[in-house]
Amino acid sequence: MPPAAQLVAPTTAERVHSACAHAENAMLALPGLDPAPTSVHLLRQCGDMVVAVPMNSTAAGLVLGCGTNGSPAVLELTDQAPLALRERVRALVWLRGWVHAVPSHAQRALAGAVAADHPHPALLDVGHTATLLRLVIDSAVVADTSGADSVDRDRLRDARPDPFCALEAGWLQHLQADHADVIDRLARRLPHALRRGALIHPLAIDRYGVTLRVEAIDADHDIRIPFDHPADDIESLSRAVHALAGNPFRGGVHRI
């Protein structure tokens, strides 16, 4: 029996989780209303998304008026690269489901639970100028330059974000600012025609590989370069990056 194929990229559900964790901006769309920005958004492992909206907003009033039935809703999240690129958007996520009001007596307790995983300063506004809503997700779609993929709520509940998700922004900024040599060596794996006259930046790092953004004259191109094996910890991730760069014996992610 042939061995199972080696994964070379995150699953769709993992991509959704990571993109939601990275996203700084989100818009909540409700029937008949203009999309409303959220100040807080956290995708929880139980399969719902907790968001904060202004307490006196039309969105909050509509959801509260729906009672226990809730309202159909779509939450759009934007994952942007932590670098000054020509186009910073890396991915868009759409979460579709039913949004429900959180009872006033449970607002602060839920804010505290959210803060344990996502200590956002806007949580301090809950109960004063902001209110929490809970989006029970039915399905999710994530889209990037490679296309769009969907995933159902069961697979989403079983998935986790990439284990290096919280550290990725710092690593990308460090690579861009201090290690043009590593980026140049990684870029040698790209087709020569794609490299000619282009600016090349590190766009993403996860346990399965590195993605480069090629800013060519005609368009942007995102190229994924997979590791030979998924990384399980920081040391193995460091070795994998340097192996791709043709320098397999140099260690320490912080010294990339």
Range name among 18-22, 42-46, 154-158 with the lowest pLDDT average: 42-46
pLDDT tens-digit profile of 79-124? Answer: 999 999 999 999 999 999 999 999 999 999 999 999 998 899 999 9
Cα 102 to Cα 40: distance, rounded to the nearest angstrom: 14
Region for residue 70 given its phi and psi (left: phi exceeds 0; alpha: psi -120 to 50; beta: otherwise): left
Q: What is the DSSP letter of 126?
A: B
Q: The domain at 165-255 falls in which architecture?
A: Alpha-Beta Barrel (3.20)
Q: Are 177 and 159 in contact (CB under 8 A)?
A: no
Cα 137 to Cα 140: distance, rounded to the nearest angstrom: 8
Residue type for 237, please?
Answer: L
Range name among 2-16, 192-206, 211-225 with the lowest pLDDT average: 2-16
Nearest Cα neighbor of 91 from 76, 105, 80, 75 is 80
Cα 89 to Cα 146: distance, rounded to the nearest angstrom: 13
**Number of neighbouring beta carbons within 10 Å of residue 196:** 9
Fold of 12-158: Pnp Oxidase; Chain A (2.30.110)
**Sequence spans of domains, the chain:** 12-158, 165-255
Q: Is the pTM of this model over 0.85?
A: yes
The contacts of residue 19 (CB under 8 Å, 6+ apart) are 77, 79, 90, 91, 92, 93, 142
